[in-house]
Chains A and B, each alone.
Chain A
Amino acid sequence: MTDTRVIDEAAPAATDGLAVQVRDLRMSYGSTEVLRGVDFDVRYGEVFCLLGPNGAGKTTTLEILEGFRPPAGGTVRVLGLDPSTQAARLRERAGMVLQECGFPRQARVAELIDIWRSYYPNPRPLGELLEVVELTEVRGTQVRKLSGGQRRRLDFALALAGDPDLVFLDEPTTGFDPEARRRCWAAIENLRRLGTTIVLTTHYLDEAERLADRMAILRAGRIELSGTTHEVAARAGLATRISFTTPSALRLGQVALPDGIGLAVRGPVSVCHTENAAMTLRRLLGWALENRLGDLDGLAVTAPSLEDSYLQLTGADGDL
């Protein structure tokens, strides 16, 4: 943890222990309200993921946290600083990977990382940076010859050059093939191991599930849900799913459906949803025993998944 480094004279006492604190954040472009009172906290050392469909306000939120846009309302503290008035100091301690930021075309990998290091008071060693993002083998290659995945990892290296306490990543793997995504994730996990606090946006659920300690689902300018992956899935209020292979006697109509548990036969699989899994299971197994259906082949009890919650929340937008 890097908590000790945030203690400085300009840090308001209210942000104790928080790398990022956002309260009632509002933003509009013209008459369009993009953020309508967003609240969330990011703790030191955690990977925090802002998840949501395109147009939800993720990039705008990030740009405000990075000090590129002043908010229309609300308060924002990043590393104890106000990004809209203390951007210069924030830049020394926060690394940023924005969307669609290019590189000088003719620069070589190590050369570029090295000059980036010179911009910061306490840079991280060059060799270490190359290793974290797995670019050691291409250190002498011109940037324009790198693949998309390598460029993104070079993005990370530049964002890390100043040994930041906090790194912002805006949609780090959008448009990548599975292999490039995997290596990106590996780089992000390397960062986490270094103790860097990471705030990332994504519209990929599996990415959030894989990387995030905590997440917030942003939709139409509001935080719909936030917490750990499990909390978010549970709070969406979805039912546990119980399924089993449809016994042939049931399929042939020789056995009546059990009462009161809403069992549905969907061809080879029978499914029901419940708020009380234990009770439903007891009734289901009792029914199976009565009708000599045995132990119900393929019986599965599935906790509500993050994907279910997310689809339910954002499904209206049809984005995923």
Chain B
Amino acid sequence: MTRSVRLAARQAVLEQRSFWRSAEYALFTFVFPLMILLLIGAANVGSYLPGTHVKNTTVFVPSILAFGVIVAAYVNLGSKMAVLRHDGVLKRIKTTPLPSAAYLGGLLASTVATVILITACTGLIGWLAFGADPRSGGLPALTAGLLLGIVCFATLGLAISSVITSAESAGPVAYASFLPIAIISGVFDPTFSGLPQWLSRTVAAFPVKALAQVLQGAYTVRPFPAWDLANLALWTAAGAAFVAWRFRWHT
């Protein structure tokens, strides 16, 4: 057991090093969300949600926190896994006595590290630039949301990796499968509204909106978001079932 943990930790360190060597991963995971945060955030300064005293940025900053979690866990892990499988790296791992759990554990640990970093950057910039910070009573929801968010979207990332058919399409497919949902969920626009009811209901069933709402709740006054956390848990279970069914070590 301790050996597996040690091996997983080593794998995680190598993954982190590789991550920072790759301009595309580092750029898309960090620069992209932080740029959106600053640009759209700046456009929303001084505006309030219609009919309330809640600043737009107070809702927008946690939305981008959710966006960062999804990019780092879902897009990154999903596309990375697809590339590793397509390149035959996973098959090569299978030729060694390394326990599968130690290898996957290492990848997940590296993902968690990336999520923590992007969350810290987003939170800090959101606070410094827009004065948005979580209320003290929102910390349990914030922690629960981040933890469940990582688990949920990492699981979904592993799931999507199994349906990606080539290394080249890995990034685009991972992005395309959640960006439209993120836009319709209002992640990039705090005042987004006017959708037909059926569409807004459909979109609310996805975990993107659920995670955004959990984190928004930690910044604004809202009751504990039990339903949204349940939504994330359900998607985690569905993702895990899909992974168990379709995950392959080689193409």
Contact = CB atoms under 8 A, between A and B. Distances in A.
B10 A115 contact: yes
B8 to A, nearest CB: 11
B92 A101 contact: yes
A111 B14 CA distance: 8
Interface stretch (B63-71, B83-91, B153-161, B218-226): B83-91
Given A102-B89, A162-B97, A119 B18 contact: no
B11 A98 contact: no
A120 interface: yes
Interface stretch (A88-96, A253-261, A271-279, A295-303): A88-96
B22 A106 contact: yes
Interface string A66-83: 101000000000000000
B22 A119 contact: no
Given A102-B89, A115-B10, A118-B7, A107 B18 contact: yes
Nearest to B103: A119
A118 B10 contact: yes
Q: Is the interface of A mostly helix, strand, loop or mixed?
A: loop
Nearest to B102: A119
Contacts of B95: 66, 91, 95-96, 98, 101, 159
Given A120-B97, A162-B97, A105 B87 contact: yes
A106 B16 CA distance: 10
Contacts of B18: 104-107
B96 A115 contact: no
B21 interface: yes
Contact of A104 (B84, B86, B97): B84
A232 to B, nearest CB: 30
B22 A105 contact: yes
Interface residues of A, number: 27
A88 B102 CA distance: 14
Contact of B92 (A92, A102, A111, A142): A102
B98 interface: yes
Contacts of B87: 102-103, 105
A185 interface: no
Contacts of A68: 94
A244 interface: no
B88 A98 contact: yes
A158 B97 CA distance: 12
Interface string B215-249: 00000000000000000000000000000000000
A118 B19 CA distance: 21
Interface string A236-272: 0000000000000000000000000000000000000
Contacts of B7: 118-119
Give 8 closest A-B pairs by Cβ, nearest first: A102-B87, A106-B18, A101-B88, A96-B95, A91-B97, A101-B92, A119-B98, A106-B21
29 contacts: A68-B94, A91-B96, A92-B97, A98-B88, A98-B92, A100-B88, A101-B88, A101-B91, A102-B89, A102-B92, A103-B87, A103-B89, A103-B92, A104-B89, A105-B18, A105-B22, A105-B87, A106-B18, A106-B21, A106-B22, A107-B14, A107-B18, A111-B17, A115-B10, A115-B14, A120-B96, A120-B97, A121-B97, A162-B97
Given A88-B97, A98-B91, A107-B18, 17 more contacts: A66-B95, A91-B95, A92-B97, A102-B92, A104-B18, A104-B84, A105-B18, A105-B83, A106-B21, A107-B14, A118-B7, A118-B10, A119-B96, A120-B97, A142-B21, A158-B92, A159-B95
